[in-house]
Amino acid sequence: MDHSYQILLLTNGIHALNNQITNNNADIAKLKKAQTNIIADQKELGSKKTLVTEPNLSNDTWQGKYATEFLEIREEVGNQFTNILQSQIETLLDNISSKIAVLENSNDQLSSTIISKRNEIRFLQQTDGG
């Protein structure tokens, strides 16, 4: 019995799976680059955090109701700065890491499927007598 059509379908399937792996690898590379850039930006942003408290205010430079309100706003800005640096960016980095893991796991599954299809092709070729 000739299995050439089944072999053709399996070969086309393998080609499609390889394309998906290639696309996943491109996405993984982009995500890793974004992750590296975000970490670098996070470090740079962290080094600028002290600028929130400048200039230093004292009773000699500024005091009264507006100075108190300004210091409260400055403190809130500092808190938001910390929230962005620690919580929001870390959440973003965790999400990127999770997506990378999903894509890598998908590639592992796709590779296993390719191996199965190749084994099936070999079996079909052997049953065809060649």
R_g (Cα) of the chain, nearest Å? 29
98-115 burial code (b ≥16 CB/10 A, e <16): eebeebeeebeebeeebe
Q: What is the model's pLDDT at position 54? A: 75
Mean pLDDT of 2-14: 94
Confidence of residue 119 (pLDDT cuts 50, 70, 90): very high
Q: Which residue has the higher pLDDT, 3 or 58?
A: 3
Q: Which residue has the higher pLDDT, 15 or 1?
A: 15
Mean pLDDT of 114-129: 93
Rounded Cα gap, residues 19 and 45, in angstroms: 38
The reported pTM is: 0.78
The distance in angstroms from the start CA to the end CA of the chain is 12
Q: What is the model's pLDDT at position 123? A: 95
DSSP codes, the chain:
---HHHHHHHHHHHHHHHHHHHHHHHHHHHHHHHHHHHHHHHHHHHHTGGGGG-SPP-TTT--SHHHHHHHHHHHHHHHHHHHIIIIIHHHHHHHHHHHHHHHHHHHHHHHHHHHHHHHHHHHHHHHTT-
pLDDT in tens, 43-94: 888 887 777 777 777 666 777 778 788 888 888 888 888 888 888 999 999 9
